[in-house]
Amino acid sequence: MPTAQLRADVAAAQGGDDEAFSRLVEQTYADIFLLAARLTRNHHDALDVVQEAYLRAYRGLIDFRGEARFTTWLHRITVNCANTLLTSHQRYACDPIQRDVLDLNDEYHPERRAEDAEISAEVRESLEELPPNLRAVVVLSDVFDLPHLEIGRQLGISATAVKVRLHRGRKRMRQAIQTKRRTMESGATDAIIREVRHAV
């Protein structure tokens, strides 16, 4: 959506124009769903996050002053909604590892896009295995291509903390990919040996 049109729709929506808000939803839904899906790793949770994010945006639009872009403001709301959902899940899951690493500093069909975005299966799997605080930074940086300062503003952390988490997240992903590749190679070798032994 052109910036001028987006600003016009934001202003109209703030004035109570529901059709303008609907246009904002239509133009941003794909990216917001992708962000939610990457953060939650779950289709149904992503839908819940998106619904809550737009509900909060609708209620809070009157207080939106334009210090940040509308899309940036909406990303921040989505990240907060995802963090809230993930925290509630963890209370029941009681995963000590996840709780230890979690830091909540206080075109086409979007669902298909979340699955088919230009990212390899092994990268997607390694991303989904990251703890939420690292995954959020990697997603905002490597999927949404946001600068460190903007990521920090969205997550409520410093740019330095963003760099640290990004380094840790990417390192974990590389290690996970390498481990899986070694496991697959070992499995393939074992299969060949079994075939050879069976043939003999």
Output 149 or 198, whichever has higher pLDDT: 149
**Interior/surface letters 32-51, b for 16+ CB within 10 angstroms, e for the rest:** bbbbbbbbbbbeebbebbbe
Q: What is the mean pLDDT of residues 10-20?
A: 92
Q: Strands, E, within the chain: which ranges?
A: none
**What is the pLDDT confidence band of residue 143, given thresholds at 50, 70 and 90?**
confident
Mean residue pLDDT of the chain comes to 79
Global pTM exceeds 0.75: no
**What is the pLDDT confidence band of residue 179, given thresholds at 50, 70 and 90?**
confident
193 CB neighbour count, 10 Å cutoff: 10
What are the structural domains of the chain? 3-199 (1.10.1740.10)
**What is the pLDDT confidence band of residue 26, given thresholds at 50, 70 and 90?**
very high
For 43-101, write each residue's pLDDT tens digit.
899 999 999 999 999 999 988 887 778 988 999 999 999 988 887 776 544 443 333 23
Q: What is the mean pLDDT of residues 7-34?
A: 92
Q: Are 108 and 183 in contact (CB under 8 A)?
A: no
